[in-house]
C-alpha cells in the first residue's frame, strides 16, 4: 500500500448562492469569495486542525469537522486507509449566511481527498459531484462550488447531475451580508408541501428566463428573478432580508435571497448599477449590512500539490 505521509495539497473553494430567486433547489452561482485549506498527511494518528478567519474557535477541530468527514467519506468510498492529517483552514465564507459554507467545507474535503489520492484513485467530475451530494443532501450548492459559473443541478435514479453555463460578462454580483444567521433546516421547514398551480407556472417561466438573462440578456434580470415558491414563505424568519429585497427591487434591482438566507444577492446588469444598489443599501437599509462586490467565479474548486517546507 502506498504511504501518503508527506503528501500535502492546497484547496480553494468558492462561495455559492443557490436558488437565485425562481430556481429553487436547482440553480446555483459560484462567487469570487474563497475558503482555502492546506491538508497534509503526517505520521501518527488522528487529525489536527487549525482554523483562522470565520469560525475560528467555534467550528470543530476533531474528526467531527465537516472537512474531515468529507475526506473520510471519499477514502471509505474507495476503500483507502485514511492517514493522520494536519489541516490548516482559512475561512472567509460566512457561516449560516446563505453562501454555501457547508457546501464549501464538503467540497474542500472531497477535493483534498482527490489530491491526496492522485495517482492511486482517480475521481472525475461526476464522481466528485456524487460524493459531495451524498454528504450535502442536495446538489444545488456543491455543483457550482465544484464546477464554477452558473450551474443547473438535478437528480436522477443514478445520482445527481449538473450542467455548467458561462455567465454574461456584464453580470455584476453584489452580496449583502447581515450579522445574523438563519438555519437552513428552519428555512426549509417554512415551505408548504403544495403550492398553487399559477405560482408553479410563474416560477417555471421565470427560471427559464433567468437562464437567458444570465447567459445573454442581463437587462432581463429583474423580471427573471421573480419568485413565488419559497421567499415569501420564509419572509417571517428574516424580516430585515425581506425588507431589503423589497426596497432594492422597488428601485429596479434584481435582489433575491441568497440560498436559505439571510444574505441578499443582487444580480446587477453592469458594474455601475451594482454601485447604485450598494449606495441604496448603505443609505436606506434599516440594519447594518456588509456589502461584498464580487465576480462570478468561473473555475470552481481547485486542488494543487503543496510543497511542505522542510527545516534542517
255, pLDDT greater than 80: yes
**307 pLDDT higher than 70:** yes
pLDDT at 180: 78
In whole angstroms, what is the distance from residue 262 CA to residue 93 CA? Answer: 14
Percent of the chain with pLDDT strictly greater than 90: 88
pLDDT score for 309: 63
Which range (7-16, 30-39, 189-198) has the least confidence?
189-198
Determine if residue 192 is labeled as part of a ligand binding site.
Answer: no
What contacts 63, CB < 8 A, 6 or more positions away?
Answer: 46, 47, 69, 72
- 94 annotated ligand binder: yes
Can you give the pTM of this predicted structure?
A: 0.94
Mean pLDDT for the chain overall: 94
Pick the CATH number of 8-165+297-305 from 3.30.230.10, 3.40.50.11310, 3.40.50.300, 3.30.920.30: 3.30.230.10
| 261 labeled part of a ligand binding site | no
Residue 198 in grid coordinates: 399559477
The residue among 98, 105, 102, 155 whose CA lies nearest residue 130 is: 155
| Other C-beta atoms lying within 10 Å of the C-beta of residue 100 | 32
179: confidence class by pLDDT, cuts 50, 70, 90 = confident
- Give the per-residue pLDDT at 3: 87
Q: Is residue 99 annotated as involved in ligand binding?
A: yes
CATH fold of the domain at 172-293: Alpha-Beta Plaits (3.30.70)
101 is in an annotated binding site: yes
Work out the pLDDT band at 312, boundaries 50, 70, 90: very low
Among candidate residues 158, 142, 32, the one with its CA nearest the CA of residue 92: 32
What is the reported pLDDT for 186? 67
**98 a known binding residue?**
yes
pLDDT of residue 191 exceeding 60, the answer is yes
Two domains, one topology: 8-165+297-305 and 172-293:
no
The confidence band for 286, taking pLDDT boundaries of 50, 70 and 90, is confident
Task: Check whether 95 is labelled as a binding-site residue.
Answer: yes
Output the nine-digit C-alpha cell for 191: 415551505
Binding residue per annotation — 109?
A: no
Query: Per the structure block, which three cell numbers stand in for 90?
Result: 482559512
The answer on whether 218 is annotated among ligand-binding residues is no
d(Cα 61, Cα 260) in Å, to the nearest integer? 26
Q: Where are the domains of the chain?
A: 8-165+297-305, 172-293
Rounded mean pLDDT, 125-140: 97
Amino acid at each position: 500500500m502506498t504511504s501518503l505521509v508527506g503528501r500535502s495539497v492546497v484547496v480553494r473553494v468558492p462561495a455559492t448562492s443557490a436558488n437565485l430567486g425562481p430556481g429553487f433547489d436547482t440553480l446555483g452561482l459560484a462567487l469570487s469569495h474563497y475558503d482555502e485549506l492546506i491538508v497534509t498527511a503526517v505520521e501518527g494518528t488522528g487529525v489536527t486542525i487549525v482554523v483562522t478567519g470565520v469560525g475560528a474557535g467555534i467550528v470543530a477541530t476533531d474528526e467531527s469537522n465537516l472537512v474531515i468527514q468529507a475526506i473520510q467519506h471519499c477514502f471509505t468510498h474507495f476503500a483507502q486507509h485514511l492517514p493522520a492529517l494536519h489541516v490548516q483552514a482559512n475561512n472567509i465564507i460566512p457561516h449560516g449566511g446563505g453562501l454555501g459554507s457547508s457546501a464549501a467545507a464538503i467540497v474542500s474535503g472531497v477535493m483534498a481527498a482527490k489530491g491526496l489520492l492522485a495517482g492511486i484513485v482517480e475521481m472525475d467530475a461526476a464522481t466528485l459531484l456524487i460524493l459531495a451530494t451524498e454528504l450535502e443532501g442536495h446538489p444545488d450548492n456543491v455543483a457550482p462550488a465544484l464546477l464554477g459559473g452558473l450551474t443547473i443541478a438535478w437528480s436522477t435514479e443514478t445520482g445527481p447531475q449538473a450542467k455548467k453555463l458561462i455567465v454574461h460578462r456584464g453580470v455584476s454580483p453584489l452580496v449583502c451580508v447581515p450579522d445574523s444567521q438563519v438555519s437552513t433546516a428552519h428555512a426549509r421547514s417554512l415551505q408548504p408541501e403544495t403550492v398553487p398551480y399559477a405560482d408553479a407556472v410563474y416560477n417555471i417561466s421565470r427560471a427559464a428566463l433567468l437562464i437567458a438573462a444570465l447567459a445573454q440578456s442581463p437587462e432581463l434580470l429583474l423580471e427573471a428573478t421573480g419568485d413565488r415558491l419559497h421567499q415569501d414563505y420564509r419572509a417571517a424568519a428574516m424580516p430585515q432580508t425581506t425588507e431589503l429585497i423589497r426596497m432594492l427591487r422597488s428601485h429596479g434591482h434584481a435582489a433575491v435571497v441568497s440560498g436559505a438566507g439571510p444574505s441578499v444577492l443582487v444580480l446587477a446588469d453592469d458594474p455601475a448599477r451594482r454601485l447604485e444598489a450598494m449606495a441604496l443599501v448603505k443609505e436606506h437599509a434599516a440594519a447594518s449590512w456588509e456589502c461584498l462586490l464580487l465576480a462570478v467565479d468561473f473555475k470552481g474548486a481547485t486542488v494543487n500539490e503543496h510543497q511542505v517546507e522542510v527545516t534542517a
